[in-house]
Amino acid sequence: MPVDHSQCTDDYARYGLRVRGLNDYLNRSDLSMQTSNISDLCQGDALIIVDVQNDFLPGGALGVSQGDQVVPLLNHYIQYFRKAELPVYATRDWHPSDHCSFTAQGGIWPPHCIADSEGAQFPPGLLIPANSLIVSKATTRNQDAYSGFQGTCLAQQLRSAGVRRVFIGGLATDYCVLNTVKDALKEGFHVVLLKDAIRAVNLNPGDGNRAIQEMIGLGAATQQLEGLAG
């Protein structure tokens, strides 16, 4: 059921809580959030960090160009969610060594994000809060999953935590971010794509930009830390 987020402020007022939005925090720093009717964080919001793992960073087994640049941006977003005491979720690709998506098994990818390997770890510079929920996906040989919702309990966990709107960033724009955003929308969540905190594989030139347009076309809002409207 669609949720009207204009109610968020009222909820806070009703429970006598201070409304603490992204803009409050940003006003205290030199960053500015684009003007948006959804720029204030409120109860029911969650951050989902998608597949920011060593193998997807430059030099990794499936390195995404400039993939490392999302890390400091995501750390900023994490800080806002932490200060607002809102939940943070992190998905990770977590494959067996003979996973069907690997070229040796007829898939299209080099071996990557093998469970427990160094390449599957989150980079040490990514400051994932200790109480974050980690969602492992594509953990069995015969199934791939680009979406953090596929074959996981993510939707259920978000719902039981009262989450209605998810802010999504990470890697890669044209695969796991795209499919996680699409499933989040299908599951009835409002979605804000963190446009500055995503990077694309771009197997075909323009894949990343097409993915962004597709997500927006399906109903995702966008937000970024700096600059003009995204």
* Residues binding ligand VGL (CB under 6 A): 51, 56, 62, 93, 101, 109, 171-172, 175-176
Q: Is 195 a catalytic residue?
A: no
Query: Cα Rg for the chain, rounded, in angstroms?
Result: 17
State how beta strands 165-171 and 133-137 pair. unpaired
Minimum Å distance from CB 98 to ligand VGL?
15
In the shown chain, the binding pattern of residues 63 to 102 toward Zn ion, with x for contact by CB under 5 A and - for none, equals: ------------------------------x---------
207-217 and 178-186 helices, crossing angle to 10°: 10
Minimum Å distance from CB 193 to ligand VGL?
14
Of 56, 78, 51, 79, the C-alpha closest to 67 is 56
Q: Is 51 a catalytic residue?
A: yes
CA distance 34 to 61: 35
Q: Is 183 a catalytic residue?
A: no
Minimum Å distance from CB 46 to ligand VGL?
19
**Residue with CB nearest Zn ion?**
93
Q: Which is catalytic among the residues 137, 144, 174, 195?
A: 137
Q: Which is catalytic among the residues 113, 176, 182, 183?
A: 176
Q: Which is catalytic among the residues 40, 45, 51, 68?
A: 51
* Residue 77 site contact among ligand VGL, Zn ion, none (CB < 5 to 8 Å, cut-off depends on kind): none
Of 60, 51, 8, the C-alpha closest to 199 is 51
| DSSP symbol at 102 | B
Minimum Å distance from CB 169 to ligand VGL?
12
* Residue 175 site contact among ligand VGL, Zn ion, none (CB < 5 to 8 Å, cut-off depends on kind): ligand VGL
Would you report the helix, strand and coil content of the chain in percent, each value rounded to 5? 30, 20, 50
Of 90, 91, 92, 95, the C-alpha closest to 110 is 95
Annotated catalytic residues are 51, 137, 176
Binding site for Zn ion (CB under 5 A): 93
